[in-house]
Amino acid sequence: MVLAVGIASAFADPAIIAHRGASVDAPENTPAAFREAWNQKADGIELDIWLTKDGRIVVIHDGSTKRTTDKNLVVRDHPLEELRKLDAGVWKGEKWKSEPIPTLEETLGELPVGKLIYIEIKCGPEVLPELARVISKAGKPAEQLRIIGFNFETLVKSKALMPEVKTLWLVSGSKDKITGKTTYPDLAAISEKASAAGMAGLDLNMGFPLDAAAVAAIKAKGLTLAVWTVNDPATAKRFAATGVDAINTDHPARIRSALEP
């Protein structure tokens, strides 16, 4: 893929973003998964954040540690010191035993030069002051950072607090419990809403009906566009052809090799 030049797209086009790190090959949202993402030549990583009881930011997908560690704790009810004692790797296999729940601070500290990080806010706006502090302390160029989230109001507050960091609104479809059919919000409406709020872009579930015209219409609003979570090479090629800016995947090596000329 060509390297685009310019402020809005100084990264590979489309950028390959390792979803929760290289989460097929290593335990999600751990240092091992992020190292594996760089090994697999990802352009960036995506991760999820929660606030601990003592006001620190940890990287974990769920609000509890049940699924991805050896103990069941509610993240917001426990201090960092306690959460750090958990094993966030062994559920994936003995090879990853003792892998810790990382802090956002240390993950940002290890972000390689020129690589992207998509930080998904899973908790509420209470995390924002600490997020701003951690980002400022890390001293990384804003161009490497993205803040993403499903909660529009939290993102608006995030943008007000950290105007230099690009904010992308995560949007998905909703599944009808009876028919099982998933319907997606109108692309023009969500583009308009994001653009009017000054967001940098949209980060869309791959089920949205995206073709080249739809992507061009989103970009015409001045928005960047990422899609998630694409693990199938043919689907990644289809999205790349539409002109999306970033593809989130659990398997960066597979998608990298699919998109290589």
Residues assigned a catalytic role = 19, 61
Residue whose CB is less far from Ca ion, 120 or 250: 120
Taking the CA of residue 63 as centre, how many other CA atoms within 13 Å lie in the half-sphere pointing to its CB? 5
170 binds, among Ca ion, ligand G3P, none (CB under 5 to 8 A by kind): ligand G3P
Residue whose CB is less far from Ca ion, 29 or 179: 29
Residue whose CB is less far from ligand G3P, 228 or 239: 228
Q: Enter the DSSP assignment of 18.
A: E
Should residue 46 be labelled a site residue for ligand G3P when binding is judged by CB under 6 A?
yes
Should residue 170 be labelled a site residue for ligand G3P when binding is judged by CB under 6 A?
yes
Q: Enter the DSSP assignment of 75.
A: G
Comparing CA positions, the residue from 168, 231, 244 lying closest to residue 200 is 168
Should residue 245 be labelled a site residue for ligand G3P when binding is judged by CB under 6 A?
no
Could you give the CA distance from residue 206 to residue 233 in angstroms, rounded to a whole number?
A: 13
Should residue 68 be labelled a site residue for ligand G3P when binding is judged by CB under 6 A?
no
Should residue 155 be labelled a site residue for ligand G3P when binding is judged by CB under 6 A?
no
Smallest gap from Cβ 117 to Ca ion, in A, equals: 12
Helix%, strand%, coil% for the chain, nearest 5 = 35, 20, 45
Beta-strand pair 182-183/174-175: antiparallel
Rounded to 10 deg, the angle between the 233-242 and 212-220 helix axes is 50
Kindly identify the residues of this chain, within the stretch 120-159, that bind Ca ion according to CB under 5 A: 120
Could you give the CA distance from residue 9 to residue 245 in angstroms, rounded to a whole number?
A: 8
> Binding residue for ligand G3P (CB under 6 A) from 230, 248, 249, 250?
248
Rounded to 10 deg, the angle between the 128-138 and 152-161 helix axes is 40
Degrees, nearest 5: CA angle 104-108-112: 150
Binding mask 79-108 for Ca ion (x = CB under 5 A): ------------------------------
Degrees, nearest 5: CA angle 37-232-93: 50
Should residue 25 be labelled a site residue for ligand G3P when binding is judged by CB under 6 A?
no
Should residue 28 be labelled a site residue for ligand G3P when binding is judged by CB under 6 A?
no
Smallest gap from Cβ 48 to Ca ion, in A, equals: 5
248 binds, among Ca ion, ligand G3P, none (CB under 5 to 8 A by kind): ligand G3P
Should residue 36 be labelled a site residue for ligand G3P when binding is judged by CB under 6 A?
no
Residues within the interface to Ca ion (CB under 5 A): 48, 120
Residues within the interface to ligand G3P (CB under 6 A): 19, 46, 48, 61, 120, 170, 203, 228, 248
